[in-house]
């Protein structure tokens, strides 16, 4: 069940965190996975960690906010695999700040990756998916798309855009065999979280990790592999009746955090 065997898949942000977990999971389940990330070194390491699997993995260093660079990667993937069955947009950056403390530079930087990057990738694959009258797009949004999160003004803006872009694409291309959904995680235990805690709370890492974990009603953070498992289902043929949906994976945060 939930097989994507022999599917050609692009995963952005695949050098670490959720993106790497999704790329690994998909490769283990038989897909040919094309890993895209700005960090070439992280891609090399991800390729080593994926190792031998049921599928195949290839890496493409790329700045997803650059449309020309994205177009070049799409061309390379098509030349290699002949098709793109699935696109997973997991590339994203975080920002901490309110409206007043968010500079124009901060705002533009978050927008360039989290919004324009998703737009560039979807625009890059939609033509080839339309030509084949089939395809799946999965975007990684956030609970910040649906509820107010303190000190996350720019990040919330960007993930709200990801959610609404998902709905728009699902609506526009439903008659052409293309499905588009998004996943909205709460806090996930990624290298970013560890780095944030180390940088901002030196000497109190364990205490702060526990505190942040307890902000989820379920009492812990999600693991990237759990987001990957949900993503595998949504991109598989077994989910062929699902489009235009947002799937919170949040430990009860949206509905139970009151």
Residues assigned a catalytic role: 155
Report d(CA 116, CA 89) in Å as an integer: 11
Pairing of strands 56-61, 135-140: unpaired
Task: Report helix, strand or coil for 179.
Answer: strand
Look up residue 155 and give its two tokens.
């990040």
Look up residue 117 and give its two tokens.
């990057």
DSSP state of 232: H
- Non-local (6+) Cβ contacts of 116 within 8 A are 64, 65
Look up residue 149 and give its two tokens.
């999160």
Q: Are 92 and 16 in contact (CB under 8 A)?
A: no
Tell me how far CA of residue 146 lies from CA of 94, 136, 158, 162, 170, in angstroms.
17, 23, 12, 11, 18
Report d(CA 218, CA 216) in Å as an integer: 5
- Non-local (6+) Cβ contacts of 229 within 8 A are 25
Residue-by-residue DSSP string for 45-98: HHHHHH-S-SSEEEEEE--TT-HHHHHHHHHHHHHHHS---EEEE-------B-
């Amino acid at each position: 069940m939930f097989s994507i065997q022999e599917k050609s898949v692009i995963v952005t942000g695949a050098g670490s965190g959720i993106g790497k977990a999704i790329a690994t999971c998909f490769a283990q389940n038989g897909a040919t996975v094309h890993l895209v990330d700005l960090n070439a070194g992280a891609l090399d390491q991800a390729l080593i960690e994926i190792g031998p699997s049921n599928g195949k993995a290839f890496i493409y260093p790329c700045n997803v906010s650059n449309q020309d660079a994205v177009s070049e990667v799409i061309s390379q993937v098509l030349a290699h695999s002949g098709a793109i069955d699935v696109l997973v947009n997991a590339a994203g950056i975080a920002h901490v700040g309110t409206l007043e403390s968010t500079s124009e530079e901060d705002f533009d930087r978050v927008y360039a990756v989290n919004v324009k990057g998703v737009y560039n990738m979807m625009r890059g694959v939609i033509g080839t998916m339309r030509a084949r009258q089939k395809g799946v797009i999965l975007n990684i949004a956030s609970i910040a798309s649906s509820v107010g999160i303190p000190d996350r003004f720019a990040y919330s803006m960007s993930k709200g855009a990801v959610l609404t872009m998902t709905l728009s694409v699902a609506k526009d291309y439903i008659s052409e065999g293309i499905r588009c959904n998004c996943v909205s995680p709460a806090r996930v235990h990624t290298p970013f979280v560890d780095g944030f805690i180390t940088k901002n709370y030196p000497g109190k890492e364990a205490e702060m990790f526990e505190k942040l974990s307890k902000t989820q009603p379920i009492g812990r953070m999600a693991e990237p592999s759990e987001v990957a498992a949900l993503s595998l289902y949504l991109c598989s043929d077994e989910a062929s009746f699902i489009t235009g949906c947002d799937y919170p994976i949040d430990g009860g945060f949206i509905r139970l955090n009151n």
